[in-house]
Structure 1
Amino acid sequence: MTISVGDKLPNAELMMMTEKGPTKVSTADLFNGKKVALFAVPGAYTPTCSAKHLPGFVENTSNLTAKGVNEIVCLSVNDPFVMASWGKDHDAGSIKMVADPDAAFTKALGVEFDASGAGLGIRSRRYSMLVDDGVVSQLNLEETGGFEVSDAETLLGQL
């Protein structure tokens, strides 16, 4: 079943780079008690993700925070080293670059797809969502391969 507006995010452990190296972070720590703009991409360094999706959130960071967003989280089924490097290469600044290495969170949301035919394995569909204290209040889920509704500007317009 796919996550929907009004649903609480599932409990999961994700990974991100810190000064101490790869570090586990729980969804509770990322989302509870905050308003978070979460967006997911099929893969770091992939064409649309690198040319449009991440840059749109980088460009709109101050606009999102001005509208009450406490944090912005970028998620991908990659490892934390790749996510940290991708964020650095794109000057992601305060955007938290979070890895879902085994796709457990992505599968729990019901937004996975199999890109094994392209050599990529299980990946996340592209989406953006607004999460208020762990509950989805806006969801913009793309069809596989699309980039029509999950951009930063769409989410900004929903605030």
Structure 2
Amino acid sequence: MTIAIGERLPQATFKEKTADGAVELSTDDLFKGKRVVLFAVPGAFTPTCTLNHLPGYLENRDAILGRGVDDIAVISVNDWHVMGAWAEQSGGMGKIHFLADWNAAFTKAIGLDADLSAGGLGVRSKRYSMLVEDGVVKSLNVEENPGQATVSAAAAMIEQL
């Protein structure tokens, strides 16, 4: 069952690449007492994710933070090495969190997993964005088509803020 507005995010652990190597971050580390924009992509370095979805959030980072948001994070079912390389290549390192949900545990727990095996990707995340306040989902925008980033795009999130 897909997580709904008003529900609390489940406890999970993510990995993120930093200058000191991989660090583990819990759901509480990321969301407790904070207002956070979280968006998910089916895969780092994939076309829509790299050319459209991520750039919108990087370009609009200041506008999003200027609306009372404490942090922005992107999550993908990839390992932390891939997410770290994507952060570096995109220029996003240190600007937003690049979270690796390496085993899709969080993605499955919130019911936003997708079997993209037909495209050679295996189990991945649906493309979505959400506003989370103190661990509770305040808005949720799930794309119908993983190849599009419209309802989950940065511009759409800014309108919701």
TM-score band w.r.t. shorter chain: over 0.9
Q: 2:159 maps to which residue? A: 157
Q: 1:94 maps to which residue? A: 95
Q: 1:122 maps to which residue? A: 123
Q: Matches of 1:3 and 1:10 in 2, distance apart? A: 9
Q: Is 1:43 matched up with 2:43?
A: yes
1:24: how far off?
Answer: 1.5
Within a 5 Å distance, the mapping from 1:3-152 to structure 2 comes to 3-92=3-92, 93-145=94-146, 146-152=148-154
Task: Percent identity, please.
Answer: 51
TM-score in terms of structure 2 length: 0.95
Q: Matches of 2:19 and 2:59 in 1, distance apart? A: 25
TM-score in terms of structure 1 length: 0.97
RMSD, aligned CA: 1.0
Gaps of 5+ in 1: none
Gaps of 5+ in 2: none
Q: Matches of 1:98 and 1:27 in 2, distance apart? A: 11
SS at match of 1:2: coil
